[in-house]
Structure 1
Amino acid sequence: MAKRTRTGDLSHLNVEALEEGISRRACHVKPPVPQPQPSLRGEWLNVLLLVTLYAMQGVPLGLTMGSMPFLLQAKASYTAIGIFSLASYPYSLKLLWSPIVDSIYSLAFGRRKSWVVPIQLASAALMLVSADWAESRLKEADIVSITVLFFVLVLLAATQDIAVDGWALTLLSRQNIGYASTCQTVGMNIGYFTSFTVFLALNDVDFCNTYLRSTPSEDGHLTLSTYLRVWGWVYAVVTLLVAAFKKEVNFTPAEELESFHLKLNGEDRGVGIMDSYKQLWGVVRLPAVRRLALVLLAFRLAVLPAEQAAPLKLLEKGVSKEALAGLVLIEFPCELVSAVVAGRWAASSSPFKPFLFGYQARVIMAGVVTTIVYYFPSGASSLSDHPRWFALLAVAGLVTSFTSTLMFTALGSFYTRISDPDMGGSYLTLLNTIANMGTTLPKLALFSLMDLLTTRKCVGADPTLEKHACPNTQIEGRGANPCTQAGGECAVARDGYYMLSYAMVTLGFLIFLWLRVLLPQLDAMPLERWRAKQRRH
């Protein structure tokens, strides 16, 4: 008779012997031996796979958070761009379904491949099928359709990220596990940089005519439809190779013991999923976590208008995408160096000292960037047109990047200290999710406020006719309206961007005074204040 593994059959086993055998493999104590030094010899293919998977995640994120707002700026209002920001929400809310990804899979195919392969094939199919349609919707500035498409793409990327993060823990050997975060940083930056800076440059007509063509043309080298189609085929080929040739390591001994206990108690994976959600809800209800969540949701309000809308205002003033893309190319290597320096500083100090320093400097830079944008000369087609102003923008961008990295690393250090190890990575994912929501949730409201606070007046209309009102948004002001029909032009009388940005910077200094009191209190709390009671099997 063939062997069968069923819940009912476990009663015939020597339970103590099975537990002892598994525990010995998982927890056997050996005399201390020198720990092997990290060495990637023999693991370069695994490193390359991780970098590739993370780079593929960065592609839709670079389009959604980087390129698309630039492409929409000439066709849509700030309110419409704020609506498009909804497409990035899945990446900030992936905690909601991460327990499902961790708990449902096929061991025969692979715990992480069970999600990575179908998710990437779905992404490939969506890119290939929707490529031409997305291009037409972009030309028509169909915000709702474009938002839905990229929402689905980011949803797939966020789900893949959950699976790849878990796979990274077993894909590399124990002595090289520290390289997993490096693979993530390198891969995500490659994908984001390709979809933002490289795509924008190759999509821009002026850049292509100036640097890549001998004969000018009316189109860029790379359209959105072509870019989506190319990456659709890359997704498909890479995914099929992974499915066919990459074997996955499944349960560790500790996970095998946990799985055995679940079967012994007559519990299935559905109960495990519910336990995970109950644990997360218990953490959310902790007063300490709620106070920290308030900090994470509020502190970015001061800098969001300046950091998110400044490039769009420069485009509105006639600065070319070519010039802005070139500026990013110059800043990119400097940002990598500053990230290393900021990371070392944050790791060598108590978490909230560098955080407070970085926050104060970042708020100041938000005011500086807003002022630079206000006085920036109009119509800069290249970096050589106004080199001093572009140099000021570059310095402001580098300082902002440095302080942002400093704050991010400091928060990560604090997260690591307070997180409950019994919850694995779920606790860290929860805190990172709340922090991401501090960026994504206010965007729509802030961009809408820019339009509401902006007023335009009619200039040059026939004075013999009655007074003609102008709409607030730039796009409507350019189109058919009573002012333009009377031969006039809608000119900005009051720009809501500057009002809102300076108001948020002022609010930022008030938030700084609040953080200077609250953060030391959070830092001094004992660990038990950060831990929720958990169910033990």
Structure 2
Amino acid sequence: MGAPPQRTLARHDMPQFYLLVALYFVQGIPVGLAFGTIPFLLKSMAKDTSFTTLGIFSMASYPYSLKIFWSPIVDSIYNKKVGRRRSWIIPIQCISGASIFFLGSCISRGIVFKGVDDAFHGRTGGVHDLNILNLTWYFGILVFLCATQDIAVDGWALTILSKQSLSYASTAQTVGINIGYFLSFTVFLSLNSSDFANKYFRSVPREYGLVSLGGYMKFSGIIYILLTLYVVFYTTEKPWQDVLPRLHSPEMKKDDEPKVIFEYEDGDTVSTSNNAGILYVYQCFLKIASLSSVQVLAIIHLTSKIAFQCNEAATNLKLLEQGFKREDLAVTVLIDVPFEILFGYYVAKWSSDSNHLQNSDRGNLRKSKKSWFTWIIGTPGVLTPWLWGYLGRLASAILGTVVVKSFPKDGHISRVYFLTVIIQHLLSSFMSTVQFVGISAFHTRIADPLIGGTYMTLLNTLSNFGGTWPRFIVLSLINYFTIYECKIPGKHNLVYQGGSMDRCTKELGGTITILRDGYFVTNLLCCIFGICLYFGFLKKKSQELQSLPIGSWRCE
């Protein structure tokens, strides 16, 4: 299985590591906006926004889950003088920065997402005339650009670090994306809240927060451009490194099969059969997709996240709906940030140590098969952190039901309840990080560096799509299972199941009483599915996948 992974990051790899962190950081900005901030603003500033509407907006995240279809193009078309990865990173980041700045300007002027920044510019009216489809398209384009950049950065991550530090590529990804995501979601929402700013920063209350959405996006666009300038002037790719393909020998006979030499920063090389250009990459992609090991991994990715969808998409929004203050919710989520950043490194080390244990201590592992640990997780290996993360997220989903169900009827938030909300948030976000780092380390371990961008994109796409395709369905189910009574003054009360509540409040002038909250039904179904899936399929198949030789993942 090869030499055990490096336990610490090599000193000579630190500049490249920090560059990867920065590249992943800017990716996290549009991801945090599209996946977290915009749904949060819709629900908090336009409280009549239905979960079905939020499900429609969730489609803006789909490009992240479909990028595999154009990743072979990114892997194959490039300028050799600029570099295989820099050929894409430089223009895509320029376009992304300009797009984010332009969209931010439109939001500030009230052209897009009307009303969201009104308080910052002396306007009145609040969020109104919202065209959710247009908003989905605008942010979908940003996510598409971000996904394209991710393809190139994933491929570069496999080569920019020396082989001994390769396991820390997933650490850079985790730290960078989490910083960008939480800065654009948690930190932004805190600074955008007038209540938060008035409570913690101001002596004279005002009707707006410290940072507007449009202003933040314009600032982010500038950060994109500055990082791009650094990549242009202060980075290079060696002419022989990561170029597809290079012949093994100039004296090769015509009948000999061409070979590709791939060289790491530390001089280590690997070679494999190859045919030049984009056709080869697509052919290799199809071969990879036909591998039984990859197909099993695909099923795991596409099903495992269903268990957490209701909790992670709706628990915070339900708390807001019930009266939990926005600034208090921002504080609970804000506490996650240092945990995500600081412990991401140790989770990566855990994955690395698990891989080392699997490779070097198989005899001792066989002796422990009857332990309770083995019954729950199975034989320790590189996927052990991922399995622990799954169980942790499942526990958080169950705790989410408890948190929403026990919300104080009088609206008074006690310290005990507030602490419970914090624990639920920490458990969910930290275990999500454990899973992310664990599976990223596994992807890095099995990916073929010769088509690194495409291979990593295939694996990451499957993982991302597993978290996006169920979201619209789950959010729609919350609406479907909800039963509410519309009390109309002077008329008979009407009972509805599902559908929009706007008709009751706006057209009929009634008030709503929830008779059955679809959130609880949907979350229960998700959790039951997750428990059955884990003990019936995930644990067993994960054990099989982590024990396969590297050759089982190659398209040679």
Determine helix, strand or coil for the equivalent of 1:456: strand
Alignment correspondent of 1:9: none
Structure 2 counterparts to residues 36-75 of structure 1, below 5 A: 40=11, 46-74=16-44, 75=46
Q: Distance in 2 between matches of 1:225 and 1:374?
A: 36
C-alpha distance in 2 between matches for 1:202 and 1:517 = 42
Count residues in correspondence. Answer: 488
Indicate which of 487, 506, 517 corresponds to 1:495: 517
Q: Which runs of 5+ in 1 are unaligned?
A: 1-34
Deviation at 1:343, TM superposition (A): 4.4
Structure 2 CA distance for partners of 1:150 and 1:337, relative to 1, 3 Å: same
What letter matches 2:425 in structure 1? G
Query: What's the counterpart of residue 444 of structure 1?
Result: 472
Contact 1:99–1:276, Cα closer than 8 Å, also in 2: yes
Q: Distance in 2 between matches of 1:367 and 1:388?
A: 18
Give the conservation status (yes or no) of the 8 Å contact 2:84–2:242. no
Structure 1 residue 222 corresponds to structure 2 residue 211:
yes
Residues 1:390 and 2:360 are matched in the alignment: no
Secondary structure of the 1:404 match is: helix
The 3 A distance-change label for structure 1 pair 174 and 407 is: closer
Read off the aligned partner of 1:167 and give its amino acid letter.
W
The aligned residue for residue 320 of structure 2 is 315
Change (3 A) 1:452 1:343: same
* 8 A Cα contact 1:477 1:490, kept in partner: no
Task: Say yes or no: does 1:362 pair with 2:393.
Answer: yes
For residue 332 of structure 2, the aligned residue among 304, 312, 327 is 327
Q: How far apart, in 1, do the equivalents of 2:275 and 2:212 lie?
A: 45
**8 Å CA contact 2:76, 2:281 repeated in 1:** no
The CA distance in 1 between the partners of 2:529 and 2:163, in whole Å, is 46
- What letter matches 1:476 in structure 2? D
Contact 1:286–1:529 (CA under 8 A) maintained in structure 2: no
In 1, Cα distance between equivalents of 2:391 and 2:293: 24
Aligned position for 2:228 = 239
Change (3 A) 1:216 1:199: same
Structure 2 CA distance for partners of 1:279 and 1:352, relative to 1, 3 Å: same
Distance change (3 Å), C-alpha of 1:92 and 1:242: same
Q: What is the identity, as a one-letter code, of the residue corresponding to 1:294?
A: I
- Whichever residue aligns with residue 429 of structure 1, its letter is T
Point out the structure with max Rg over C-alpha: 1
CA distance in 2, matches of 1:440, 1:451: 18
* Other-structure match for 1:5: none
Q: Equivalent residue for 2:507?
A: 481
* Structure 2 CA distance for partners of 1:270 and 1:469, relative to 1, 3 Å: farther
Match of 2:486 among 458, 465, 473: 458
8 Å CA contact retained: 1:419, 1:530: no
AA paired with 1:94? K
**Distance (Å, rounded) in 2 between the aligned partners of 1:521 and 1:365:** 24
What does the per-residue CA deviation read over 1:247-298, in whole Å, with 9 as the maximum and x for residues that have no partner? 443323986734988x99799x995212211222222223443233222211
Alignment correspondent of 2:371:
none
Question: Counterpart of 1:120 in 2: which secondary structure?
Answer: helix
Change in CA separation of 1:172 and 1:264 when aligned onto 2, cut-off 3 Å: same
Once residues 180 and 532 of structure 1 are traced to their aligned partners in structure 2, the CA distance between those partners, rounded to angstroms, is: 20
Query: Following TM superposition, by how much is the alpha carbon of 1:213 offset from its aligned partner in structure 2, in angstroms?
Result: 2.1
Letter in 2 for 1:71: L
Partner Cα distance (2:242, 2:73) in 1: 22
Task: Describe how 1:172-321 pairs up with structure 2 within 5 A.
Answer: 179-252=168-241, 257-258=246-247, 272-321=277-326
TM-superposed deviation, 1:231: 1.6
Bigger mean CA offset, 324-333 vs 399-408:
399-408
- From 400, 405, 414, give the equivalent of 1:374: 405
How many angstroms does 1:78 deviate by? 0.7
Separation (CA, whole Å) in 1 of partners of 2:162 and 2:525: 51
2: CA distance, partners of 1:207 / 1:517: 43
SS in 2 for 1:222: coil
Contact 2:158 2:449 in 1 (8 A): no
The Cα offsets for residues 395-439 of structure 1, whole Å up to 9 and x where unpaired, read as 223333444344445444554565556654543432222121110
Offset of residue 232 of structure 1: 1.8
- Mapped to 1, the partners of 2:465 and 2:535 lie a distance apart of 22
Residue in structure 1 matched with residue 362 of structure 2 by the alignment: none
2:461 is aligned, of 414, 424, 433, to 433
Q: TM-score, normalised by structure 1?
A: 0.80
Q: Does 1:504 align with 2:477?
A: no
- Identity fraction in percent: 37
State yes or no: 1:128 paired with 2:101. yes
Letter in 1 for 2:404: V
Could you tell me whether the CA contact under 8 Å between 1:283 and 1:531 is conserved in 2?
yes
2:215 aligned partner, one-letter code: T
Indicate the RMSD between aligned Cα atoms, in angstroms: 3.5
Once the two structures are TM-superposed, the CA of residue 227 in structure 1 deviates from its matched residue by 1.2
Match of residue 25 from structure 1:
none
Shift of 1:82: 0.9
Per the TM alignment, residue 129 of structure 1 is displaced from its structure 2 partner at its CA by 2.2
The equivalent residue for 2:118 is none
Offset of 1:306 from its aligned partner?
1.3
Change (3 A) 1:416 1:160: closer
Normalization by structure 2: what TM-score?
0.77
Shift of 1:46: 4.7
Deviations 1:142-178 (A, max 9, x none): 2111111111111111111222233345555666655
Residue 221 of structure 1 aligns to a residue whose secondary structure is: coil
Whether the 8 Å contact between 1:342 and 1:402 is mirrored in structure 2 is: no
Match of 2:246, SS state, is helix
* Cα distance in 2 between the residues matched to 1:525 and 1:44: 31
**Structure 1's 422 and 183: CA in aligned 2 closer, same or farther, altered over 3 A?**
closer
TM superposition shift of 1:199: 0.9
5+ residue gaps in structure 2? 1-5, 114-126, 259-273, 355-379
Other structure's SS at 1:249 match: coil
1:291-310, CA deviations, whole angstroms, 9 ceiling, x for partnerless residues?
33222211211121012210
Instruction: Mark the CA change 1:312 to 1:162 in structure 2 (over 3 Å): closer, same or farther.
Output: same
Q: Contact conserved, 1:458 with 1:489, CA < 8 A, in 2?
A: yes
**1:183, distance to aligned residue in structure 2 (A):** 3.3
Residue-by-residue CA offset, 1:19-56 (whole Å, 9 max, x unaligned):
xxxxxxxxxxxxxxxx9x96546x76555443332221
Counterpart residue number, 2:267: none
Structure 1 residues 380 and 70 mapped into 2: Cα distance closer, same or farther (>3 Å)? farther
Q: Which deviates more from structure 2 when the two are superposed, residues 249-258 or residues 108-117? A: 249-258
Amino acid at match of 1:225: G
Q: What are the equivalent positions in structure 2 for 1:51-200 lying under 5 Å apart?
A: 51-74=21-44, 75=46, 76-134=49-107, 136=110, 137-138=112-113, 139-140=127-128, 141-171=130-160, 179-200=168-189
- The residue type paired with residue 364 of structure 1 is A
| 8 A contact 2:480–2:497 mirrored in 1 | no
What CA distance in whole angstroms lies between the structure 1 residues aligned with 2:286 and 2:338?
A: 41
Change (3 A) 1:190 1:380: farther
Q: CA deviation at 1:458?
A: 1.9
Call closer, same or farther: CA 1:113–1:388 in 2, change over 3 Å: same
Partner of 2:537: 515
Distance 1:420 1:90, change over 3 A: same
Task: Provide Cα deviations, 1:217-259, integer angstroms capped at 9, x if missing partner.
Answer: 2222222111111222232333235434544433239867349
